[in-house]
Amino acid sequence: AEPRLVAVRATRISPRLTLLVLRDITERERVEEMRRDFVANTSHELKTPVGAVSLLAEAVESAADDPPQVRIFAARLQAEASRLALLTSRIMNLSRLQASDELPQRDVSIDEVVASALDAHAIQADSAGVEVVRGGSRGLYVRGDAQVLSEAVGNLVANAIAYSPRGSSVGVGVKAVEGVVEIAVTDRGIGIAEGEQDRVFERFYRADPARARRTGGSGLGLSIVKHAVQRHGGEVRLWSRPGRGSTFTIRLPESEAPAAEPVPKRGRK
Ligand code: ADP
């Protein structure tokens, strides 16, 4: 295996000379380190909503004599609880994708993947006042897990809607170029600064914490997209300009359309 060197100690010897102690971490150690990081980040991220839920529960109790106030706290409690539910399910999906078990290898219809991703976010689009338009080719296939791919496309669609202004539209375009299926999700929203374009794929990274909190994000959506696509032998590309919008493109190896189910021959009765 390639040596993986990490600096374990840096000692400044002179203003122009620093002594680095490097260690070769093997693949196994690297995986273990990722796992430890993941558990640590996750516990940290769960603390905030869990804390909020328990504070709000106390607030409901102490406002017992004031029904309008109780309703306000109860609604916020509900909102925090559903954020917590979303966060937990994303953490589970991500850890499943990072585990080494094989994904199912089936013929996956991109038409179905896109349709189910759009269905899953139709209500979100409606209430955000954003129109989602599906365009491009039909009848393309890849190999893999339809559910994992739908979730990946769905996360891109959810972000495109969440970071777009009311009244704008989001495009989901599909095409095949030289054996690669491209699913491009384009918005005309706030965009992502150049220096943050790599970082947004990191677990729990949000370009602007205040903004992300407002839209109720988990910071895991893009990390799930990246892992899901990589597990299918593909990659995700990002083009974005602050104030102009973003295009996230999922690229997957194209596969042949599956042979049509043989039509059962029926004899005359
Ligand atoms: P979140 O749940 O916070 O949206 P993601 O992992 O999906 O987490 O995205 C990480 C960050 O990338 C977001 O917090 C946001 O700052 C930025 N981002 C993602 N998609 C878009 C987009 N379409 N337009 C602008 N910013 C985006």
Q: Indicate if ipTM > 0.95.
A: yes
Among 112-121, 204-213, 244-253, name the one with the lowest average pLDDT.
204-213
Q: What is the DSSP letter of 190?
A: S
Q: pTM of the predicted model, to two decimals?
A: 0.81
CA distance 20 to 222: 34
How far away, in angstroms, is 214 Cα from ligand 1 center?
12
218 lines ligand 1 (CB under 6 A): yes
Distance 263 CA to ligand 1 centre (A): 46
Q: Is residue 257 scored above 80 in pLDDT?
A: yes
**Cα 257 to chain center, whole Å?**
27
Q: Is 219 in the pocket of ligand 1 (CB under 6 A)?
A: yes
Provide the residue type at 212 as one letter.
A
SS3 267: coil
b/e burial code for range 92-103 (CB count within 10 A of at least 16 → b): ebbeebbeeeeb
Burial of 182 (0-12, 13-18, 19+ CB in 10 A): buried
Q: Cα(115)–Cα(121) distance, rounded to whole angstroms?
A: 10
Q: Which of 56-60, 155-159, 217-221, 264-268 has the lowest mean pLDDT?
A: 264-268
Query: How do 131-136 and 169-177 pair as beta strands?
Result: parallel
Among 179, 198, 194, 185, residue whose Cα is nearest residue 158: 185
CA distance 160 to 190: 10
Q: What is the pLDDT of residue 217?
A: 72
> Which range, of 2-11, 170-179, 228-237, averages the lowest pLDDT?
2-11
Contact 33, 8 (CB under 8 A): no
**Whether the CB of 221 sits within 6 Å of ligand 1:** yes
Average pLDDT of the residues of the chain: 89
Distance of CA 49 from the midpoint of ligand 1 (Å): 19
- Is the model's pLDDT at 214 over the cut of 60? no
Enumerate the β-bridge partners of residue 134: 172
Task: Check if 245 has its Cβ closer than 6 Å to any atom of ligand 1.
Answer: no
Q: Stretch 30-40: mean pLDDT, rounded?
A: 81
- Nearest ligand 1 atom, CA 187: 23
Q: Residue 213 has what pLDDT?
A: 54
**Ligand 1 center to residue 155 CA distance, Å?**
9
Is the beta carbon of 158 within 6 A of some atom in ligand 1?
Answer: no
- pLDDT for 243 beyond 60: yes
pLDDT band, residue 197 (cuts 50/70/90): very high
The span from the CA of 219 to the CA of 119, in Å, is: 22
